[in-house]
Amino acid sequence: VRWGACGAPMGAVPPPGCPDDLFEELGRSRAARAIRTLKEIDIAFLPYESQVFSLDSPQSFHGCYSPQREGTRAQHLGVLAEQLATLCATLGEFPAVRYRRGPEDTAVLARALLAHLDARRAQHPAMVEGRAQLLIVDRAFDLVTPLLHELTLQAMAYDLLGLQHDTFRGSQGSGEHGWGAPLGGGHPVPNVPMSPSVPMSPLSPMSPTSPTRPRVPQATLKELSHILKKMPQYQKELSKYATHLSLADACMRRFKGTVERLCAVEQGTPRGHRGPCARRGPRGTRRCARPQPCDARTAVGTMG
């Protein structure tokens, strides 16, 4: 039994709809005197967060994987498909459905979901087709790793700095310049001031055996800069390395802000590690792992 907003008990409505006998029982009860309008809402799911939903079906594990439920498995998958269809209708989405190739249950669920979506299109003309995608995977698919933040320089640069067309916008001196930053190929990030875009070539490493290489064991950055100003052959490479360091420094500033604490929760939770956030309890964990924007759009076909 679930409780409505007015405090009256409401029967758990199955996905196909509210049965007539429940309406009749509600009409005979004393609660009918306090009800002005009764509207049936086609919702067969529980919203946990703005973009997190649950079908509230703990018996699905037994229904989908138990050999004793082999005969009723297709019927159970049909109920789950109906619940997913109500979610899509509520969100106004007619998603393209893609399922993981292998287990037959994923294909059965995908076909049933498409059938329910086609049936609801006439009732919900506002459903937009092709804007969203829905992925159906089984328990053998790793759903955690794709959601974790990757902490390599290339991934952090694209995720945190918003690089567009492989170009890092940074400051050098008193003005602002754009640097082309192709972050791949195993080479350090090129760094040549340009306007607005100039193709960059990979950095040529400074040979440690070069006879003209300045040898200053404990020189400060200011002293090193003064030395390199007197050696024009190294000024171009110094400019390239400066952008590489600026890129790494910009990533670390963003990382130290909120991403560091969020990654600690991400990496510790799958391993059961109780870090400093977990020791402070659920409230501390929520403080460390602040909500991040998550676009969970997912396309009809099969996943290899």
Q: What is the pLDDT of residue 171?
A: 57
pLDDT tens digits along 111-130: 999 999 998 888 888 888 87
Structure tokens at 231: 């050696």
pLDDT band at 288 (very low <50, low <70, confident <90, very high): very low
Quote the CA–CA distance of 44 and 48 in Å, as a whole number: 13
SS3 107: helix
* Domain boundary assignment for the chain: 1-41, 45-141+297-304, 153-273
Mean pLDDT (whole number) for 223-249: 74
Of 54-63, 78-87, 213-222, least confident by mean pLDDT is: 213-222
Structure tokens at 174: 């008193």
Higher pLDDT: 60 or 166? It is 60
**Closest of 114, 110, 92 to residue 101, by C-alpha:** 110
Quote the CA–CA distance of 238 and 240 in Å, as a whole number: 5
Structure tokens at 295: 């676009």
Quote the CA–CA distance of 287 and 199 in Å, as a whole number: 43
Q: What is the pLDDT of residue 215?
A: 52
45-141+297-304 classified as CATH 3.40.50.1910: yes
Give the burial class of 12: count Cβ atoms within 10 A of its Cβ; 0-12 exposed, 13-18 middle, 19 or more buried. exposed
pLDDT tens digits along 194-203: 333 333 334 4
Higher pLDDT: 117 or 227? It is 117
Q: What backbone torsions phi and psi does residue 58 show, to the nearest 5 degrees?
A: -65, -20
- Dihedral angle computed from the Cα positions of residues 44, 49, 51 and 53, in that order, rounded to the nearest 10 degrees: -30
pLDDT band at 228 (very low <50, low <70, confident <90, very high): low
First to last CA, the chain: 42
